[in-house]
Structure 1
Amino acid sequence: MSGVMLRICSLFVCMLLALPVWAAQRELSGVPRVIDGDTLEVAGQRIRLGGIDAPEMQEDCLNNSGQRWACGAWATEVAQAMLAGRTVQCVDLGQRSYDRIVGRCYLGGQDVAVALIEAGAARPCLRFAREQGQEQAYLRAEQQAKRANAGVYGGPLNPIAGFCEPSRATVSISAPAVPPSADCVIKGNVSSNGRIYHMPGQRHYDQVTMRSDQTRWFCSEAEARAAGWRRARQ
């Protein structure tokens, strides 16, 4: 290979290495349909916004006067008003929550999750925000919401969802009891031996009971390894 070709190849490799991690991830764009405060439907796909937790649709909160208000329905309305008729660009983060893609969505270049936190319509889900590299951005947004007494920050906060706690050994937002699809049958399980995945046919595969806080389905061994899991020895 000539010196010119070597220089071209080297430049191409450098360009690939310079790309952000998400550049190789699947992207979706379109005008979203808001399902709730942290779930959108974009291009026919349901997307759970990663790293945040909005009140459930039927959830109530208390204001500073001790009066109850429908914070869950309100958070959904905030997201609807924010995104109505506008196109978002979303990145698939490679995780799944029930039948939803876990993703990060942008509106005019701004992370939608940051905007929702600043409005007091969602809170940082620190465990996943940290894993996804957004912890500091989401904490800054939370400080702004607290200063403004925005939304849920205008009164005593409800307990954050258990899966958001950084100290917990959870590995996924949720894991349904059955595989999300016929191609996603690898069982990930947290045990005293760490994060281990079991292939169909392995010795302990049938003994792993899928639970919401200690397990996770994977669609391939590559996906499991990329998430920091190792294959069971038997």
Structure 2
Amino acid sequence: MRRTIPIIAAASLAVVVGGNALAADPIVGRASVTDGDTLVIRGYRIRLFGIDAPEGAQLCQDAGGKDYRCGQKAALALSDKIGAATVTCESKDQDRYGRIVAVCTATGIDLNGWMVGEGHALAYRQFSTVYVPQEDAARAAKRGIWAGTFTPPWDWRKAKRESGEAATSAPRAPEPATPAASAAGCQIKGNINAKGDRIYHMPGSRDYERTAINPNAGERMFCSEDEARAAGWRAPRG
């Protein structure tokens, strides 16, 4: 006897891999920026498709040859661009770390393309050439990292692996605070800005929700303002 297997429309499916569902519908909501090519929306870890931004601990050189934290600058640029806007991400794939790979937009702007066009990220040719025109324009105008010298992030990660140092190519999305951490009150975010200033953000403050902490870059959480100040962090100005 032949069995009939029901067919379910692919559009109604959400494949779950590595803790994230590869959603058929767009992922929409307020975004937290983890780094220059990674967002978190409603618990979804999202890797921006077709681009690769410098790593959080990566240094580049400006036009005068001075080192600066280009990875952190990329993350801050993406965070500032998004601001309080709602972000919409269209899933395209899922990477080996369980992150959804997507094209994300805010206020009608393709954030992936904007990051490359402003020189905060490169076209990730290994996976797509869709953002090569934006990269060419950024290079010609000497925007962002193109104003000085830099190592492509994929080469930077490779060098870290070969030197035996911990590479930061693994998922960089911070884990949600555990109930124990919340109960202890360790919710103050210690961030380091593009100038190297150590600034702490209190829950409910203007930049708290859009501030992401990258431990690999020396950032951390604090349990009290006194602890943050004692460690060398200051409150935001203005």
Instruction: Name the TM-score, length of structure 2 as normaliser.
Output: 0.53
2:42 aligned with 1:43, yes or no?
yes
CA distance in 2, matches of 1:140, 1:104: 16
Normalized per residue, the structure richer in helix is 1
Q: 1:80 to 1:128 in 2, by over 3 A?
A: same
Amino acid at match of 1:158: T
Partner of 2:177: none
Give the drift of 1:80.
0.7
Equivalent positions of 1:207-226 (< 5 A) are: none
Give the drift of 1:89.
0.8
Deviation digits for residues 109-130 of structure 1 (CA, Å, limit 9, x no counterpart): 332111111111111101212x
Please say if residues 54 and 153 of structure 2, whose CA atoms lie closer than 8 Å, have aligned partners that are also in contact.
no
Please say if residues 48 and 97 of structure 1, whose CA atoms lie closer than 8 Å, have aligned partners that are also in contact.
no
Partner of 2:114: 115
Give the drift of 1:162.
5.2
Q: Secondary structure at the match of 2:88?
A: strand
Q: Secondary structure at the match of 2:100?
A: strand
Deviation digits for residues 101-150 of structure 1 (CA, Å, limit 9, x no counterpart): 11111123332111111111111101212xxxxx24x1111122112211
CA distance in 1, matches of 2:170, 2:115: 25
2:20 aligned with 1:27, yes or no?
no
Equivalent positions of 1:116-195 (< 5 A) are: 116-129=115-128, 135-136=129-130, 138-161=131-154
CA distance in 1, matches of 2:156, 2:80: 28
Q: Gapped runs of 5+ residues in structure 1?
A: 1-15, 17-23, 130-134, 165-173, 177-234
Give the drift of 1:68.
0.6
Q: Secondary structure at the match of 1:145?
A: helix
Give the drift of 1:26.
3.3
Q: 1:163 to 1:50 in 2, by over 3 A?
A: farther
Give the drift of 1:94.
2.4
Amino acid at match of 2:111: V
Partner of 2:183: none
Q: Give the share of equivalent positions with the same residue, in percent.
A: 35
Please say if residues 120 and 153 of structure 1, whose CA atoms lie closer than 8 Å, have aligned partners that are also in contact.
yes
Give the drift of 1:47.
0.1
Higher relative contact order (CA 8 A, sep 6+): 2
CA distance in 1, matches of 2:91, 2:74: 23
Please say if residues 97 and 175 of structure 1, whose CA atoms lie closer than 8 Å, have aligned partners that are also in contact.
no
Please say if residues 53 and 153 of structure 2, whose CA atoms lie closer than 8 Å, have aligned partners that are also in contact.
no
Give the drift of 1:160.
4.1
Partner of 1:101: 100
Q: Secondary structure at the match of 1:82?
A: helix
Between structure 1 and structure 2, the one with the greater Rg is 1
Give the drift of 1:163.
11
Q: Gapped runs of 5+ residues in structure 2?
A: 1-10, 12-22, 158-168, 172-238
Q: Secondary structure at the match of 1:78?
A: helix
CA distance in 2, matches of 1:65, 1:175: 32
Give me the CA root mean square deviation: 2.5
